[in-house]
Amino acid sequence: MDLQLTEEQSLVQRTARDAAERLLAPHAARRDVTGEFPVSELRALADLGLLGVAVPEELGGAGAGTIAYSLAMQELARADASVAVTVSVSNMVAELIAANGTPQQISHWVPRLVSGELVCGAFALSEPQAGSDPAALTTRAEKTDRGWRLSGTKQWITSGDRAGVLVVWAMTDPRAGHKGISAFLVPGGSPGLTVSRIEEKMGLHGSSTAQLVLDGVEVGEDAMLSGPGRGFALAMMALDGGRIGIASQALGIARGALEAAVRYASERTQFDVPIIRHQAIGNMLADAATWLDAGTLLTLRAADLKQRHQPYSQAASMAKLFSSEKAGLICDIALQVHGGYGYTRDFPIERACRDVRVTRIYEGTSEIQRIVIARNLLRAQ
C-alpha cells in the first residue's frame, strides 16, 4: 500500500475537514441536546460530493475511492459523529445500488441519493430478534400479481424515519434459509411503512434510529435488488464495506478527543507546570496517539484493499475491532486528562465518550469481528 495520499484524496480530506469545522462543529453540541436532524447540513455535504465519495462520477458521485471515503468520514466524525454516521449509511446505500442495481434502479436512485435530493438512505437489515444473525430475519416478501408485498419489523435502522429510499431485506423463500433472503428498494413514505418508535439513545442524538413496521408494503417486480436469494450475499458485502466506515468514524471521534486532551493538558498547570509534562499524563497521551495511528493504518489498509478489488473482509474486521475498541479507550483517557471538567457538557469530551461507545456494536459487534477474523485464520490453514 502506498502511504502517500494522491492529490484527489488530499482534496477530499481537506474538503471534509473544512466542511466539518465550518458546518458541523458549531452546532454539534446543540444537536446533541435537541436531537435535531441535520437536513441542511446533509444537503450542503451533498453539494461537496460527500454523500457519494466512492460513487462513480457519471452517477453524480465524487469517484474518489474508498481511501478518500475513509478520510472524509474521519474528518466529519471528528466534528460531529451523528452527522458522520448518517453520511456513512447513505454512502453505503448509494454504493450498494450503484454496484448491484439494474440500469433503471441505478439511474432512478443513485443520483438522487448523492445529490441530497432524497436527504439520505437507510439500510434496513436488523430486526428485534435478528441482529448479529441476519439469517434469522422474519420479515417476509410474498409474490403478488404486481410485484411483492413486504411484512415485518425492522429494528435499529439509522435514518429509517428520514430516508428517501431504504434497502429492505426480506425472506422470499423460507425453506432455503439464508439463501432465501432477497433485498428490495423501498421508497421512504411508502403506504404500509410506519415508524413505530424512535430510540432514545446514549449518544449520537443528532442521528435518528428507528423501529420500522412494514404492514403489507407493496413494491413492484423491479424493486428487487440483484435477484432472488441474493440478499444475504449483498448484506455481507455491504457490511464488510460498512465496517471501514465505522472504523473511520471511531477514529474521527477519538482524534477529536485526543486533540482536545492535548490542548487542555498543554494549558492546564498543576505544580507550576503544564500537566502534559507530568509523566502520568504524558504516558496516557502517548499510548492514545500510538493507538490512533495504528487504527488509522489498519483502516486505510482495508480501504486500499477494497479500492483495489482485493479480498478485504478480514482486514475490515480487524480495522473495525481495533479502531472501535481503542477509540473508546482514547476517549476515556481524554476525559481523565480533563478531570472533572471532562465530565461536564462544557467540554466536548463527555459527548465523545457517549458517541464512541456504539462503534463497538453496530455494523457487527466486536465479538462478531473476532469470529470473522478467527474463521479467516482457520480458512488460511
Give the mean pLDDT per block of 10 residues along the chain (381 residues): 89 98 97 96 97 97 98 98 97 98 98 97 95 89 97 98 98 94 98 98 97 98 96 95 97 98 96 96 98 98 97 97 98 98 95 98 96 92 79
Burial track 155-177 (b if 16+ CB lie within 10 A, e otherwise): bbbbbbbbbbbbbbbbbbeeeee
Q: Pairing state of beta strands 181-187 and 224-225?
A: antiparallel
- Say which amino acid occupies 251: L
Q: CA-to-CA distance for 169 and 154, rounded, in angstroms?
A: 9
357 and 336 Cβ atoms separated by less than 8 Å = no
pLDDT score, position 1 = 67
Residues with Cβ within 8 Å of 32's Cβ and at least 6 positions away in sequence, in order, are: 82, 205, 206, 351
Which grid coordinates are listed for 365?
A: 459487534
Sketch out the chain's domains with CATH numbers.
7-119 (1.10.540.10), 122-229 (2.40.110.10), 232-379 (1.20.140.10)
Residue bearing cell 433472503: 181
Coil, helix or strand at residue 194: strand
From the candidates 41, 127, 350, 363, give the one annotated as an active-site residue: 363
Question: Which one-letter DSSP state was computed for residue 64?
Answer: -
Kindly give the residue spans of alpha helices, DSSP state H, lying in 174-230: none
pLDDT score, position 131 = 84
Q: How far is CA 244 from CA 131, 319, 362, 370, in A?
A: 19, 7, 12, 15
**DSSP H or E run through 12:** helix 7-19
* 350: annotated active-site residue: no
Closest CA to 85 of 254, 240, 206: 206
User: Mutual orientation of helices 349-357 and 25-34 as an angle, nearest 10°?
Assistant: 70
**DSSP H or E run through 140:** strand 140-143
- Say which amino acid occupies 223: A
pTM of the model: 0.96
Burial track 183-212 (b if 16+ CB lie within 10 A, e otherwise): bbbbbbebeebeeeeeeebebbbbbbbbbb
Q: How far is CA 40 from CA 118, 120, 229, 354, in A?
A: 12, 12, 38, 24
Closest CA to 211 of 137, 124, 84, 133: 124
pLDDT score, position 381 = 79
